[in-house]
Amino acid sequence: MEQIKEAALIARQPDYRDLDLDFLPHPTTGDLLKKTGVEALKRSIRNLVMTNYYDRPFRGGIGSNAQKLLFNNIEPLTATFLADAIINVVENYEPRVALTNVVVIADSDNNGYTATIEFVIKNNNLPVQINLFLERIR
């Protein structure tokens, strides 16, 4: 009976899949490559953080508006605003993960911010960490 429960638990864990937004073709089949599992979730969170409000047609509220905050002075207060924006966007638009920690540190030497996002995948309690460097692009 115990083996049946374990097999049912394994069968229910979804394998998250998403398109690789680099749009590179597979070397042999020519199909678009896919991101799967943890890499798909990392890409999803990175895309949410880097999306500004009104970047997505008909879904203007999705995004963190972090790009706008990057044009403020590089200081700890702006880092706090960025951390709050990251927390809000991930909690509201990524239901597959639970945030455990978000740390944003101002890096005035490189004109940007180092963001560390730690989360747990809800279905299998796997801890994951993403390191992003947020900088102005214009």
**Does the pLDDT of residue 13 top 70, yes or no?**
no
User: Tell me, what's the pLDDT at 10?
Assistant: 52
Q: pLDDT band at 117, cuts 50/70/90?
A: very high
Q: What percent of the chain has pLDDT over 70?
A: 89
This prediction has a pTM of: 0.81
Tally of domains within the chain: 1
Q: Give the residue numbers spanning the domain of 127.
A: 2-135
User: Tell me, what's the pLDDT at 129?
Assistant: 96
Tell me the pLDDT tens digit for each residue of 59-75.
Answer: 888 889 898 999 999 99
Q: pLDDT band at 91, cuts 50/70/90?
A: very high
Whole-angstrom Cα distance, residue 95 to residue 27?
33
Output the domain CATH number for residue 20: 3.10.450.40
Q: pLDDT band at 84, cuts 50/70/90?
A: very high
